[in-house]
Chains A and B, each alone.
Chain A
Amino acid sequence: MHVPDGFINAPVSVAAGVTAAGAVAVSLRGARRELGGSAVALVGAERTAPLAGLVAAFIFAVQMLNFPVAAGTSGHLLGGALAAILVGPYTGVLCIAVVLLMQGILFADGGLTALGVNITVMGVVTVVVAYALFRGLVKVLPRTRRSITVASFVAALASVPAAAGAFTLIYAIGGTTNVPVGKVLTAMVGVHVLIGIGEAVITMLTVGAVVAVRPDLVYGARGLTTPLKLRVGGELVDAEPAATAPVAARSPKKLWATGLVTALALAGVASFYASASPDGLEKVAADQGIDRHVAEHAAAGSPLADYGVKDVSDARISGGLAGVIGVGATVVAGSGVFYAVRRRRTDEPASAPVRETV
């Protein structure tokens, strides 16, 4: 996964280096806040170096932990998503960047000129994608321990192919070899979806293990603690809230509504103006004659085939309509699954005595 020297040309490497340097500078500032601890805000600056250093050493060590897959093959963790969830996005970027820097200088793993590319792809993209997804899911899902593990699974699953996509983008701009971009994309994303599944399972299990023992250490699970209750005269009374109450999270309903409206607007309106030419991969396939033998998709006869509504003649309106219907169907299916899961979870405690281990 480490990009060597000479893979990406010099100007793009420099540009990626500048991007990475900016991201690291921002992370240095943000990490101070994340590692500052909850009670005393003043000690942030001096806590950063030891804690981030030890977390970087942990990432470095855990990358050497082999997970056997089958018959002699084994994989290891990349750690971007794990770092983001356990210690927060800024510290995560910082730790991965330091690990990559040391691997480049000491172990010659990944080229020195490709350091910017490596940090951007494996550090920044992975952590940002993973953390954004994780936060979004934690906001939407019910506030339980299991939704933390589910969210970390999804976040890690998406982060690896996202990094592969980012690499392909950089390659498309500044690659020194002329493998067609479409081929690189399919190969990279295809392989990394598989890697992502492994990464997701391991990340989920690891986060689950930490949450079970020290939930206070998991940055992504902050604010998950239930309010303290006091038993006064036989009945439960809310305890006095702590002095530094966490900032109230925005209502997930509002977030949902905004997201839904945006998605509908994008799908319905933007696809009016979207280019009607085939996308890159389809184009490469067409140019190379790969798609000559491709059978028509099984759903080609369905009313929404090829993103257009069948009996509407105007191409643009048809495309927009198909977009809106698509978003609606996705939302309905998604919420159906979500509510089914939630109902099962609320039923569970009543039907079976669940042993909670802390």
Chain B
Amino acid sequence: MASGHTHKLYRHGHSPVHALPAHCKLVAVFCFVLVVVSTPREAAWAFGLYAALLAAVAAVARIPAGFLLRRLLIEIPFVAFALLMPFVVPGEQVSVLGISMSVPGLWGAWNILAKGTLGVAASVILASTTELRSLLLGLQRLKLPPMLVQIASFMIRYGDVITDEMRRMSIARRSRGFEARGVRHWGVLAKSAGALFIRSYERGERVHLAMVSRGYEGTMPVIDQVTASRAQWSYAVALPLTALAVCLLGWTL
């Protein structure tokens, strides 16, 4: 079961970033994003430095730029929102290429675009260098309640199963000549969703019984204790510390 459960977002590799323990990486990414969010938006150069930092990490992890950029596309809805801002925020107007935009709106759009993109890029690097199971164990080591980690791991494990079940139902519908075209067909789709819920819930009951019969008592034993050495921590913390230095410079300059 272990080998087949790498998620599609994970990119196998043996770089120093891959080798770091998951909880170090989680802490590093979270602190980095927190620092980025609290940087003043006027310090445009600081965001350039942050981007350079992330690019350096990606280079060390040997993630191709194309892969990273393709994964950044998830942000598009908010880009659309940000592009709207210069036209809805009141304030002094400036004329760019004959179109009048508001100055605070432009600042706001820049703020969302820069911080949002950096945050997404950091999460993408984390997800593509960390295996799912170690990510969940890392969350557990960071004192997330074990029950929550278990629920998350069940969700990830059976997410593909349930999604596949949904796909099979869709194939079954289509092979019977059904094509969802509008609101009139919602009833059929909703019945599928209801059936999917019943199947998921019943599968959950079966999984529970199967686990109980194998000695499950509500907690999962942790077999591989991953501990981080001081050197590994210092590697991981290098990213947010550099970012913090940049942030402080941004506030003082």
Contacts and interface: CB of A to CB of B under 8 A. Distances in A.
Nearest to A24: B148
Interface stretch (A5-13, A253-261, A267-275, A327-335): A5-13
Nearest to B154: A53
Contact of A202 (B38, B126, B193, B205): B193
Interface of A is mostly: helix
A137 to B, nearest CB: 20
A306 B133 CA distance: 60
A87 B190 CA distance: 17
Contacts of A6: 36-37, 111-112, 114-116, 119
A92 B32 CA distance: 31
A179 B89 contact: yes
A3 to B, nearest CB: 9
Interface in B108-158: 108, 111-112, 114-116, 118-120, 122-124, 126-127, 132, 135, 145, 147-148, 150-158
Interface stretch (A43-51, A120-128, A297-305, A318-326): A43-51
B182 interface: yes
Contact of B186 (A50, A51, A60, A67): A67
Interface residues of B, number: 85
A4 interface: yes
Interface residues of A, number: 72
Contacts of A217: 197-198, 201
B151 A107 contact: no
Interface in A46-94: 46-58, 60-62, 64-70, 77, 86-87, 94
A250 B205 CA distance: 32
A202 B111 CA distance: 36
Contact of B150 (A24, A53, A108): A53
Interface centre among B74, B89, B150, B204 (most CB of A within 10 A): B204
Interface stretch (B212-220, B221-229, B230-238): B212-220
A99 interface: yes
Contacts of B112: 4, 6-7, 176-177
Contacts, number: 252
A65 B166 CA distance: 8
A201 B118 CA distance: 38
Given A10-B38, A112-B123, A209 B154 contact: no
Given A5-B118, A113-B30, 9 more contacts: A6-B116, A46-B208, A49-B218, A56-B151, A77-B193, A176-B111, A179-B108, A209-B190, A217-B198
Interface of A: 4-7, 9-10, 13, 24-25, 28, 43, 45-58, 60-62, 64-70, 77, 86-87, 94-95, 97-99, 101-102, 104-109, 111-113, 176-180, 183, 201-202, 205-210, 213-214, 217, 288
Interface of B: 7, 9, 26, 29-30, 33-34, 36-38, 41, 71, 74-75, 78, 85, 88-91, 104-105, 108, 111-112, 114-116, 118-120, 122-124, 126-127, 132, 135, 145, 147-148, 150-159, 161-163, 165-166, 180-183, 185-187, 189-198, 200-201, 203-205, 207-208, 211-212, 216-218
